Structure 1
Amino acid sequence: MPIQVGERLPEVVLQWIRGGVEKIDTRTLFDGRKVVLFAVPGAFTPTCSEKHLPGYVQHFEEFRRRGIDVACMAVNDPFVMQAWAESQSVPDGLMMLADGNAEFTRALGLELDASAYGMGTRARRFAMYVEDGVVRELQVEAPGEYRVSSAEAMLERLG
Structure 2
Amino acid sequence: MSIKVGDKIPAARFKQLTAEGLGEVSSEELFAGRSVVLFSVPGAYTPTCSKEHLPGFVENAEAIKAKGVDEIICLSVNDPFVMQAWGSEHGADGKVRMLADWDAGFTKAMGLDQDIGAAGLGVRGKRFSMRVEDGVVESLDIEEGKGVTVSGAAYCVNALG
Residue type of the partner of 2:64? F
Report 1:8-19 matches (<5 A). 8-19=8-19
Match of residue 83 from structure 1 = 85
Match of residue 41 from structure 1 = 42
Report 1:28-67 matches (<5 A). 28-67=29-68
Match of residue 4 from structure 2 = 4
Match of residue 120 from structure 1 = 122
**Which piece of structure 1 moves more, 56-65 or 71-80?**
56-65
Cα distance in 2, alignment partners of residues 113 and 151 from structure 1 = 25
> Following TM superposition, by how much is the alpha carbon of 1:93 offset from its aligned partner in structure 2, in angstroms?
4.3
Matched position secondary structure for 1:9: coil
Match of residue 131 from structure 1 = 133
Residue type of the partner of 1:106? K
Match of residue 24 from structure 1 = 25
Cα distance in 2, alignment partners of residues 33 and 22 from structure 1 = 21
Contiguous gaps of at least 5 residues in structure 1: none
Query: How many aligned residue pairs are there?
Result: 159
Cα distance in 1, alignment partners of residues 90 and 144 from structure 2 = 25
Matched position secondary structure for 1:38: strand
TM-score (normalised: structure 2): 0.96
Cα distance in 2, alignment partners of residues 93 and 56 from structure 1 = 8
> Following TM superposition, by how much is the alpha carbon of 1:154 offset from its aligned partner in structure 2, in angstroms?
1.0
Match of residue 102 from structure 2 = 100
C-alpha offsets along residues 86-136 of structure 1, whole Å, 9 cap, x if unaligned?
Answer: 111113142101001100000010001111111110000000000000000
Moved over 3 A (4+): none
Residue type of the partner of 1:151? A
Cα distance in 2, alignment partners of residues 79 and 151 from structure 1 = 24
Contiguous gaps of at least 5 residues in structure 2: none
Matched position secondary structure for 1:128: strand
Cα distance in 1, alignment partners of residues 116 and 9 from structure 2 = 24
